[in-house]
Amino acid sequence: MTEAKPAQVVLLSSGNPQIAKAYGDAPVQAYIAAMPGWKSPVGRRLDDLIVARVPNVQKAVKWNTPLYGMGDSHWFMSFYCMTRYIQITFFSGMALDPVPPVSSKQQGVRYYHIHEGDAFDADLLGAWIDQARALPGAKL
């Protein structure tokens, strides 16, 4: 059974939910609920994994992107719906071991993509989350 999507949420051309800027768990949960198709359950698993690894994690939605951090000036990761995948962003990704596979034009940033049907590698993602939370984050 598919969960109903909030009627007021607009999906951008990439399928990314358009959620108003706000701090806390509620806007992140609204974003996850509005993720289209297979992406919503993956978003929920990502959120659950992050909360399990970082119980005191700070959450926000800015620029239609859920952010996770250790305070307003230490955002360590985010994710975003692209047309065919979910893009996970590690703001200090070049310092992670192993380095996430997808490069960025932004210095230090690395991405990891999850496509429909990909195995959810909780061990690898958990290790990256553990490392990323201890690194200097992005001031967004």
Domains along the chain with CATH numbers: 12-133 (3.90.1150)
Across the chain, what does the average pLDDT equal? 91
Q: Is 70 exceeded by the pLDDT of residue 6? A: no
* CB neighbour burial string for 33-63, b if at least 16 within 10 angstroms, e if fewer: bbbeeebbebbeebbeebeebbeebbbbbbe
Task: Give 112 or 13, the one with higher predicted confidence.
Answer: 112
pTM over 0.85: yes
pLDDT of residue 138: 77
pLDDT of residue 4: 46
63-113 pLDDT per residue, tens: 999 999 997 678 999 999 999 999 999 999 999 999 999 989 988 999 999
